[in-house]
Structure formats: structure tokens, C-alpha cells
């Protein structure tokens, strides 16, 4: 019996069917060896984009009234099949990304758990925020009409997977399952760095859609090594929303293309973030070495290829600062060089660290040992080396380019004159996904102004921890002000991610039988509703 990794075809998956295309050929590459992987894939063209979206639009008409139980069952089935086919998925993703199999196994568990969480959300239905205001026909001077509103899916969603999470933020990741829970069809643009893993995950989803007896146009996955197919997806008149995780340059290009459409659509792009770590004096004095160890571990998680990677730290000058910096260098020197996800990321990392080194006042104080000749990967494949820079905090305020993310295991540790300068840097920051504070509880209470500033700068504020590692749940907000995202109101991880793909529709004076189930008087879905200004109990 063939294992799933041997089922790769290199074809597009459009509405449940494998479709050959004539676009430019490309292959996955093993970043640990530099060798190409089979099979060959081809770029999707205008015909494939149009066909996928036409099928998605037709599927949307069916999905809007599909039973909630069917949508929930689909998502549960996806989770089940991901786990059943996990070994093949992990093996292929490991080959294409060089990520450790242990890490990928944990990511697969997260991916399946996300699908199950959205299955429960779809079945519950309370996410749709049903609101009812009953009519008051006798009200003077004018009668009050019956008004009801509920969130409903927006239509076909274009999803762009992330290169650094080939399972959890890719074809079967949060974006896709959140859109499905909102009854939206999805067209995924596969990531060119792991096309094989994309096809394997897409096959699982297409088979689950067929199992649930939902329209096959509910899901398609297009492969492409360039920008043409992605831009065509965004510009197509049938696309209703876009979800993207990647670089600032890529996200902004899609955002601008969507805004330039005759009918603009929202682009929910997660992009660049420096994720600052603020170390208050009390914490630096008491825990300098402990914080340094955790900081370097966070910095090098996944070879620094996390969107929450701590790209800068700040502490007040003095003996505690020196102790912290020395401990950081000791820990960083022990980090072995490692292959990055693909050659493009490695090139950008090398360019970014060279740019930092060229800025007067920025000093490279330590780096992990460069690989010896015998330690290099086959065929001279380059590896990323952890690099620690320092600078005076005042430089950050004078050089805007220091706010730019360097994606990889590099960071700048800023020396502040006092806590007032630390606060000034916080005020001068651009938007970020996270901000971290290390301090005592008393210090935190005294630094209320810093917390208030960071509330305006970041989507998640961490106390006495580190920003890498997310806990997908209802309370998580993985987003932040620009340039971290294009819309800071929404999260791309956790069950609240569903709200990117829904919009409110209001019904006035509708007969009960013509209303969506969530708004009918008898509440057949048993969802929690806001009725005449009062939030009702669940199942009442």
C-alpha cells in the first residue's frame, strides 16, 4: 500500500479534482542538502485561478444554508485525517523545511486541535453574535420595527500559507478551518517552499469535503513559485477576503492590490514584527542569567524563524545590564548553526545582519561559532548563525531602519540610561505582534505608563515570559498595529480568527420562518443571543 508521501502528483487540486497545468516548472528543495525533491510542480495560471473561484462562488450558495452539524463534522474529519496521515505529512514537511520531526509532530497536533476547536465553534453557533430587538408597534411618536442581526460568511477566501509553519499556518491551518467554520469556501495558494506538504494536506481536505457531501468547490489549492497566481487571486472579482502570513513586502503588495480593486476587499496580513523585550531594573538585578537563558532560547526557536521572535531587548545600563549581556553571549555561543527554511530566507537573514553591522553605533558583540569545514552541510549549503548586537537606546530613536525586522536568530540589546529612556523607546516603536516585560510585580505596577504605551503598540503583552510559542484559544490575540498586521482588530490564531471572514447582516420586519435559524424566535440552534439589550443564557 502506498504511503501518503508517495501519492504526490505535482498537480493543482481544483474542486476536488487533480488538474495538470502548463505553467513554469518548479520543485521543492531540501534546505539541509540543497537537493531538489520530486515531483515537479507547475505554476497555476489565470485559467486555474478563475476556475477555482467560480467553483468556490457556486459552493458558497450551498454552504450558506448547510446544516451546522455538517460543517462541524467536516472540520472534525479533517482533524482525524491529519492525525491518521501524520507520518507522511511530517516526513515530507521535514524534507522540505529542515524543521525537526519532533517540532513538526507538535505542530501537527496543534493543527488538528485547531480544526477540532473550530468544529466545536461551528456547532455551537454563538460566535455569530445573534442580536434581536423586538418590535414595539405602540411606541410613540413612532413605532419601533423588529430588527435582528447576525454574522454571516463573506464568501470565497484566498489563503496564503506561511513558510515557517508548513502545517499549522498553511493549507490546513487556522485560516482555512476558520473560513470553513464561517461557511466560506477557500482557495489556498500553496507555499513554494513546501509544495509537497501542501499537496498532501490539500488532498486530505478535498477528501474530507467529499466525505461530508459538501460541494467540491468549497476547497481548491493552487501551486505557484512566483507572484502571478497570488495577485490574480486577490484581484479576482469573486474573492471576498484574503488571509496572508509572511513578509511585510509580500503582505503590503497584496493589501495594495486589494485596495486598488474596483471593489476593495479586506486583506488580513500578518507581517513584520520586532517583538521587544523590556527588562526592568529589579528583574535584571535578581534574574539576569535566568532571563538571558530564556531570551536566547526564545531567539533561536525554530532557527529564529518565528513571527514572535524577540528582535530587540532593552535594559538600564549598569552592572545588571553587563551581567545580562554576558550571559546572553555565553548562551548564544552554544547555539549550533542550522539550516533555515529555504535559500531565500537565508539570503534575507544574511543581508539583514550585514545591514545591522553597517549602521554606526551598532556593534556585533557575539555570535555562535561559525561552522567548521567539516561541520558544513552537504554541497556547502549555508547555515544561520545566532548573532547578538548592542547599541545605545538613543540610536533606536534616530535610526528608523532599526525598527525593521531581521527574520532569523539575530537581536539587538539596547543600553538605556534610565527607565525614562526605556519608556521613550517604547513610544518610538512601530506596531508589533508582542511586547514583553520582565520585572517584579511592584515594578510592573509602578510602570503603568509603559504598559499603557505598549497597549497601543502590540497585540499581546507578556509578563515574565517570552513571546515565542502560542496557545491557540478564545482569548489569544495574535495581531498588532501596522506593520505587524494590516488590521490590528483581528487575530490570525485562536478561535476569534473566524471574525475575519464574517460580516453582519440585519433583517428588519422579516417573518420568522424566513430568518436565519440563529434569529428565529424559538432559537432552534439554541445559541446565546442578545435579546432586547440583555444577553441570554446559553441554550435558552
pLDDT along the chain (540 residues), means of 10: 66 96 95 94 97 98 96 98 97 96 97 98 96 97 97 98 94 98 98 97 98 98 96 98 96 98 98 96 97 97 94 97 97 94 94 96 88 52 92 95 94 97 97 97 95 98 95 95 97 97 98 97 95 75
Residue 427 · residue 314 · CB < 8 Å: no
CB 198 within 8 A of CB 223: yes
Short-list 43, 384, 5, CA closest to 192: 43
Q: How far apart are CA 127 and CA 30, in angstroms?
A: 41
What distance lies between CA 431 and its chain's CA centroid? Answer: 16
Closest by alpha carbon to 150, among 131, 173, 174? 131
Burial of 1 (0-12, 13-18, 19+ CB in 10 A): exposed
d(CA 476, CA 244): 18
Which residues contact residue 125 at a Cβ distance below 8 angstroms, ignoring those fewer than 6 apart?
A: 68, 518, 525, 526, 527
pLDDT of residue 373: 44
Alpha helices in 430-471 (DSSP H): 441-446, 448-457
User: CA 29, CA 15: separation in Å to the nearest integer?
Assistant: 27
For residue 373, count CB atoms less than 10 angstroms from its CB and return exposed for 0-12, middle for 13-18, buried for 19 or more: exposed
Residue 378 confidence (pLDDT): 55
| Contact yes or no for 497/122 (Cβ under 8 A) | no
Is-contact 270 247, C-beta < 8 A? no
List, in sequence order, every beta strand (DSSP E) within 271-324. Answer: 276-279, 312-316
Q: 422: which DSSP letter?
A: H
Residue from 254, 335, 341 nearest 306 by CA:
341
Q: Can you give the pLDDT at residue 375? A: 47
Q: What distance in Å separates the CA atoms of residue 512 and residue 395, rounded to the nearest whole number?
A: 64
| E-state strands within 214-326 | 219-222, 241-245, 267-270, 276-279, 312-316
Point out the catalytic residue in the list 5, 48, 199, 270. 270
> In the β-sheet with 17-19, what is the strand arrangement from edge to edge?
17-19, 12-14, 219-222, 186-189, 157-160, 241-245, 267-270
H-type alpha helices, 125-237: 174-181, 195-211, 228-235
CA 189 – CA 230 distance, rounded (Å): 6
Q: What does each C-alpha distance from 198 to 106, 298, 305, 452, 453 come to in angstroms?
A: 18, 27, 19, 41, 40
The question of whether 270 is a catalytic residue gets the answer yes
What is the four-CA torsion angle of 340, 373, 295, 305, rounded to 10 degrees? 0
Q: Please give the Cα distance from 185 to 83 (Å, whole number).
A: 23
Cα separation, 5 vs 322, in Å, equals: 51
- For the chain, report the end-to-end CA distance as a whole number of angstroms: 51
Residues 6+ apart with CB under 8 A from 92: 5, 8, 194, 196, 197, 200
3-class DSSP state for residue 489?
coil
Q: Which neighbouring-strand residues pair with 220?
A: 14, 187
C-alpha cell, 368: 555562535
DSSP string, 324-380: HHHHHHHHHHTSPPB--SSHHHHHHHHHHHHHHHTSTT-EEEEEPPPPPGGGSPGGG
Q: Name the catalytic one among 307, 329, 386, 416.
A: 307
Amino acid at each position: 500500500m502506498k504511503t501518503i508521501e508517495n501519492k504526490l502528483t505535482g498537480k493543482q487540486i481544483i474542486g476536488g479534482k487533480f488538474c495538470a497545468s502548463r505553467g513554469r516548472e518548479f520543485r521543492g528543495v531540501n534546505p539541509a542538502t540543497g537537493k531538489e525533491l520530486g515531483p515537479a510542480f507547475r505554476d497555476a495560471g489565470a485559467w486555474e485561478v478563475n476556475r477555482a473561484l467560480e467553483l468556490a462562488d457556486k459552493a458558497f450558495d450551498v454552504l450558506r444554508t448547510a446544516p451546522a452539524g455538517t460543517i462541524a463534522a467536516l472540520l472534525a474529519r479533517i482533524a482525524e485525517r491529519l492525525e491518521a496521515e501524520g507520518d507522511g505529512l511530517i516526513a515530507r514537511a521535514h524534507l522540505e523545511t529542515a524543521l525537526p520531526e519532533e517540532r513538526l509532530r507538535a505542530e501537527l497536533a496543534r493543527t488538528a486541535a485547531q480544526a477540532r476547536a473550530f468544529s466545536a465553534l461551528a456547532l455551537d453557533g454563538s460566535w455569530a453574535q445573534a442580536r434581536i430587538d423586538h418590535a414595539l408597534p405602540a411606541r410613540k411618536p413612532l413605532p419601533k420595527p423588529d430588527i435582528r442581526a447576525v454574522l454571516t460568511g463573506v464568501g470565497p477566501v484566498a489563503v496564503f500559507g506561511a513558510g515557517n509553519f508548513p502545517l499549522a499556518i498553511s493549507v490546513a491551518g487556522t485560516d482555512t478551518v476558520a473560513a470553513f467554520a464561517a461557511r466560506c469556501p477557500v482557495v489556498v495558494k500553496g507555499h513554494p517552499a513546501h509544495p509537497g506538504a501542501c499537496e498532501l494536506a490539500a488532498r486530505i481536505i478535498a477528501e474530507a469535503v467529499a466525505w461530508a457531501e459538501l460541494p467540491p468547490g468549497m476547497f481548491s489549492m493552487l501551486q505557484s513559485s512566483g507572484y502571478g497566481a497570488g495577485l490574480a487571486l486577490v484581484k479576482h472579482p469573486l474573492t471576498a477576503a484574503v488571509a496572508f502570513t509572511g513578509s511585510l513586502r509580500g503582505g503590503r503588495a497584496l493589501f495594495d492590490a486589494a485596495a486598488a480593486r474596483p471593489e476593495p476587499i479586506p486583506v488580513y496580513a500578518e507581517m513584520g514584527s520586532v517583538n521587544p523585550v523590556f527588562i526592568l531594573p529589579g528583574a535584571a538585578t535578581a534574574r539576569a542569567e535566568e532571563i538571558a537563558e530564556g531570551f536566547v532560547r526564545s531567539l533561536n526557536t525554530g532557527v529564529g524563524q518565528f513571527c514572535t521572535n524577540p528582535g530587540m531587548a532593552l535594559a538600564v545600563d549598569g552592572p545588571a545590564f553587563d551581567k545580562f549581556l554576558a550571559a546572553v553571549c555565553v548562551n548564544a555561543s552554544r547555539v549550533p548553526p542550522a539550516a533555515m527554511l529555504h535559500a531565500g530566507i537565508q539570503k534575507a537573514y544574511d543581508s539583514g545582519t550585514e545591514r545591522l553591522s553597517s549602521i554606526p553605533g551598532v556593534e556585533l558583540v557575539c555570535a555562535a561559532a561559525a561552522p567548521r569545514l567539516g561541520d558544513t552541510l552537504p554541497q556547502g549549503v549555508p547555515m544561520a548563525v545566532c548573532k547578538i548586537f548592542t547599541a545605545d537606546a538613543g540610536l533606536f530613536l534616530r535610526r528608523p531602519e532599526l525598527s525593521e525586522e531581521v527574520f532569523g536568530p539575530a537581536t539587538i540589546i539596547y543600553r538605556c540610561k534610565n527607565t525614562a529612556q526605556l519608556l521613550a523607546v517604547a513610544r518610538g516603536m512601530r506596531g508589533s505582534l508582542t511586547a514583553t516585560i520582565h520585572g517584579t510585580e511592584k515594578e510592573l505596577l509602578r510602570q503603568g505608563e509603559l504598559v499603557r504605551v505598549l497597549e497601543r503598540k502590540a497585540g499581546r503583552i507578556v509578563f515574565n515570559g517570552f513571546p515565542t510559542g502560542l496557545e491557540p484559544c478564545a482569548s489569544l490575540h495574535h495581531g498588532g498595529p501596522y506593520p505587524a498586521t494590516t488590521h490590528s482588530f483581528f487575530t490570525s490564531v485562536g478561535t476569534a480568527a473566524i471574525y475575519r471572514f464574517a460580516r453582519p447582516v440585519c433583517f428588519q420586519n422579516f417573518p420568522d420562518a424566513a430568518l436565519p435559524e440563529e434569529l428565529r424566535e424559538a432559537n432552534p440552534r439554541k445559541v446565546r443571543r442578545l435579546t432586547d439589550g440583555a444577553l441570554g443564557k446559553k441554550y435558552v
